[in-house]
Chain A
Amino acid sequence: MDLLLIKEGFPLLTFLIFLPLAGAVVLLFYHGEAFARLWTLIVTSLTAVFSLLLISGFNSASSKYQFAEAYDWIPRFHINYIVGIDGISILLVLLTTFIMPFCVLASWKYIKTRVAPFMFCLLIMETAMIGVFVALDFILFYIFWEFMLIPMYLLIAIWGGPRKVYASIKFFLYTLAGSVLLLVAIIALYLKTGSFFIPEMMWQEYSLTFQVLVFLAFFLAFAIKVPMFPFHTWLPAAHVEAPTAGSVILASVLLKMGTYGLLRFCLPITPDATMLLATPILWLSIAGIIYGGFTALAQQDMKKLIAYSSVGHMGFVTLGIFVLNSRGIEGSILQMINHGVTTGALFLCVGMIYERTHSRELAVAAGVGKYMPWFVSFLAVFALSSFAFPGTNSFIGEFLVLAGTFEHNTILALAAIPGAVLAAAYMLRMLQKIVWGGIANPDQSYLADLDVREIVILAPFLFFVFWIGLAPQPFIDLMHTSVSHLLDQLNYWQHHHQVATVLWR
């Protein structure tokens, strides 16, 4: 277990995982609406504050798993409780802990019925999400992975929009379908290695056929979660029907689990299969980028528009992962964070409009710029960020991903460019409609501009848009060692195993 840097003393990661769960248990006993809101806000904020300790204690020069804790759990089956973070997961954990308080704030007025159960679901979600990013035992990972499904299902099915039943069932079935094969792959790997400890499954001599099969099982589970084209159809439905907080969690955190899985499991556990199958996945990413762009351009529903834009943006993330070079992978990790920040903020903005007009239609929101200048200023920045305007966070991410892609293959990179053009087109179209509208706008004079609570919600997102956009180096420093360690191992592997990568070249 020399891969782990065991944390002595206070078990910080365990604390972060179980603090929201403990908070949720309290909500079982006290149901007051006001109490539930405030309590959840306090618990999620505390989690966020404590997660800052991760940064101060993180050694970015080491590629080991840090803050690690290892306890025996079911020794008979070699199942252990092992958690730890490295440069790949630390930012995602922080993204999760920091998104949650804003989800609570965004639901402050939005959720009017069954407040305590709603907050209960949010807290359970948080536990599961942090667990997924820190678990280093495959069974532990799988438990958290499945654990997420039910509260998310409930969030959509109970507090969702008119077609909530359809959307929630679709979400549940899609994700479950992927998970079943994931379990099969995990057990297959256990039978080969005799361990569920994830780092011990990496860089092992599996046969190519075995690798390809495991890879495909992983890929299906993660590609549905990302979602990659053509496995994306559950996403627009779920986004549209979910309450604001649900959409934000879905976009900011849940989608990242797919790409995190690809990076954490596919690359090191099945390197030969990854190299073998990278090219078709890259082209699938391109297809997603273009398809997401065109579909977003055609939407009249703001949430659908942003949902399809997510398909395009996540296409950039998978593109960056599978070019298998340092710029590409660092770009994709950064792009995961960026997408979490920007798309999360956009969903919050749509939620704020929805609370006022009770509609997500672009036509109904036409021309609100005149009456809600603060709102449209925020919206404009997030929309610009979403189509990678230079100086904003997504520009850096997209720049690195495309730079990595150009290193890999010029044609491939040029094929992704129309996606960037389309992103500008659909975002500017949305912005034009909302800020200006046309010559016959609906009467918006009854609308009130953002109140203090709403500005407090959006302002931190704005801060991160510009921070990552103008000084991304600290973020990249956090992940750099882990990414280069991963790529070093991959290169070493490639040198010593003459694999059939020539097949696609």
Chain B
Amino acid sequence: MEAAAATVHIVENSNLLLAVIIPLFGSLVVMTLKNHPNLREMVSSSASILLFCLVLSFIPALKAGETLVYPIFKLLPGLSITLRADGFSMIFAMVASSLWMIAVFYSMGYMRAHDEPCQTRFNACFALAIFGAIGVALSDNFLTLYLFYEIVSVCTYPLVAHHQDEESYEGARKYIIYLTTTAKFFLLPALILIYVLVGNLDFPHNINTGMIPATAAPGWMVTMLYIFCILGFAKNGVMPFHHWLPGAMVAPTPVSALLHAVAVVKVGVFCTTRTMLYVFGVETMDRLNLGIPTAYFVGFTILVASMIALSKDNLKARLAYSTVSQLSYIILGVALLTPHAIEGGLIHIVNHAFAKITLFFCAGAIYIAAHKKYISEMGGLGRTMPFTFGAFAVASLSMIGAPPVAGFVSKWYLLVGSMEAHQMGILLILIASTVLNVAYFAPVTYKAFFGKRPEGEVETGIKEAPLSMLIPLLMAVTVSVIIGIYPNFMMQFVRMVTG
């Protein structure tokens, strides 16, 4: 561990600031372009491409063993707003920036095909949500993390309430109440108490030591702080504070895709795992025996959410509960605290993101092309929309964890990790949830390709969604396959974390 600390090579790099400014600035420019939709979309897409390239540009330095930091504001002694790029932040920064790019193109197609109102507000808030997400990914201390976490909560409210009808106001109300209440109620005291105990809020540069020395606080207090942090990041969808997520399904589909794959829930799990590994650290969690109870706690969410997903006929609702369940995989992996399990959990941030965004894109494409929301109405639809449902099938394989799609990699590591930790119970939970995944995903694909058309519908030729939607969707699923076959590109960042 001392050796690991010695090799940390901290370099100041102002490009980190640029990475946060690009989406923020993009959003401000978008706001002024209300009457120029084409120019507006050009700004969004070029900002997203710029951001992605910038994030890629951090890779060589990280490979050379450097950690990039950039202090922006110094608030009080030990309290600052500082950005950092290390292996851990790259996992999420890569996902957020690349998926923003894909999502911008998709939502252009969706919003225009559907003739949605208030597209400027939509685009601006979309970029602001990415601003928050990138900020979370690049945060160097707990305060910066909390700041950007709250920014994401506030900036996604207009997206959820987009349709401005009774249903969406209700969903958005639930959304903001769950997220801000848990953050204020649990995170704020945790943040302040840690500051009082330790004197600063800076994350260490390894996952072992954590921020809180064993001498700084009694065990019960650290345990309390830990529970606060797990519950406080309600964006992670862990039961009992998961209910905002199905409620937020009233939003337009690109928003759901963004919420589920990129900006919101991933911010939640990223923050949760960041705090588990960097605020508390493996040693503290081992010492206080916090890991295994957490694993079982989220294991409950994995199973129950899968069972609820089985019962949903609305495709987006089924996907929502699938997200609730899959997010807990990530936390479960990290909670097991063995190197393989941590790797499996973290890589699942990436794998789940690409698969889930594909699934939501498919749901949106089906809605635009065939105006269907319910699975029971989708019999035979695969013959009309072969590409969409083909992508759906591949992405659901990734969810299930079948080779060669990306999900297999995470599930493999998770299974190995749970055996290393000698947790048969966890192993059984993982196997049971895989069976449940098959049970709620396979019928959708099967029905679409081999099922009967609903009464009164005739077979038509191929009628897909517009290309501007289809291409991003196919890109996302291709990435899913590629990172399944070549997991090393993303795994290198994960290995930087575990050392």
Contact = CB atoms under 8 A, between A and B. Distances in A.
A301 B22 CA distance: 40
A405 B166 CA distance: 42
A417 B189 contact: yes
A442 B193 CA distance: 46
Interface string B200-220: 000000000000000000000
Given A391-B147, A403-B195, A424-B180, A436 B188 contact: no
Interface stretch (B71-79, B419-427, B474-482): B71-79
A413 B73 contact: no
B185 A472 contact: no
Nearest to A436: B161
A414 B189 contact: yes
A391 B80 CA distance: 10
A421 B192 contact: no
Question: Which of A391, A413, A438, A476 has the most B CB atoms < 10 Å from its CB?
Answer: A391
B393 interface: no
Nearest to A472: B75
A33 B285 CA distance: 71
A54 to B, nearest CB: 24
B74 A471 contact: yes
A470 B146 contact: no
Nearest to A330: B76
Contacts of A357: none
B143 interface: yes
Interface in B163-206: 164-166, 169, 173, 176-177, 180-181, 184-185, 188-189, 192-193, 195-196
Interface in B128-165: 143, 146-147, 150, 154, 161, 164-165
B81 interface: yes
Nearest to A407: B196
A418 B173 CA distance: 19
Contacts of A413: 189, 192-193
B76 A402 contact: no
A421 B179 CA distance: 11
A424 B76 contact: no
A420 B181 CA distance: 9
A293 to B, nearest CB: 11
Contact of B73 (A406, A421, A470): A470
Contacts, number: 76
Nearest to B185: A421
B184 A400 contact: no
A472 to B, nearest CB: 6
Contacts of A414: 189
Contacts of A396: 75-76
Contact of A471 (B73, B184, B193): B73
B81 A400 contact: no
A471 B193 CA distance: 22
Contacts of B184: 417, 420-421, 424
Given A384-B154, A417-B185, A476-B76, A436 B169 contact: yes
Interface in A435-472: 436, 438-439, 470-472
B150 A390 contact: yes
A417 B183 CA distance: 11
B193 A390 contact: no
Nearest to A400: B76
A70 interface: no
Given A417-B185, A471-B75, A473-B74, A436 B164 contact: yes
Interface string A375-408: 0000000001000011100001001101100110
B169 A470 contact: no
Given A391-B147, A400-B76, A439 B193 contact: no
A421 B169 contact: no
Contacts of B146: 390
Contacts of A399: 76, 79, 192, 195
A391 B143 CA distance: 10
A389 B147 CA distance: 8
A428 B180 contact: yes
A421 B73 CA distance: 26
A471 B347 CA distance: 37
Contacts of A389: 150, 154
B75 A402 contact: no
Contacts of B181: 421, 424-425
B207 to A, nearest CB: 25
B166 A439 contact: yes
Interface in B5-50: none
B143 A390 contact: yes
A384 B196 CA distance: 25
B397 to A, nearest CB: 41
Given A391-B81, A403-B195, A471-B74, 14 more contacts: A389-B150, A391-B147, A402-B188, A403-B196, A406-B193, A406-B196, A410-B193, A413-B189, A417-B189, A418-B185, A421-B181, A432-B176, A438-B166, A473-B75
The 9 residue pairs across chains A and B that have the minimum distance between CB atoms = A390-B147, A470-B73, A421-B184, A406-B196, A402-B192, A424-B180, A420-B184, A421-B185, A403-B192
19 contacts: A384-B154, A390-B143, A390-B147, A403-B196, A406-B192, A413-B193, A414-B189, A417-B189, A418-B185, A420-B185, A421-B181, A421-B184, A428-B176, A432-B176, A436-B164, A436-B169, A438-B166, A439-B166, A471-B74
Interface of B: 73-76, 79, 81, 143, 146-147, 150, 154, 161, 164-166, 169, 173, 176-177, 180-181, 184-185, 188-189, 192-193, 195-196, 221
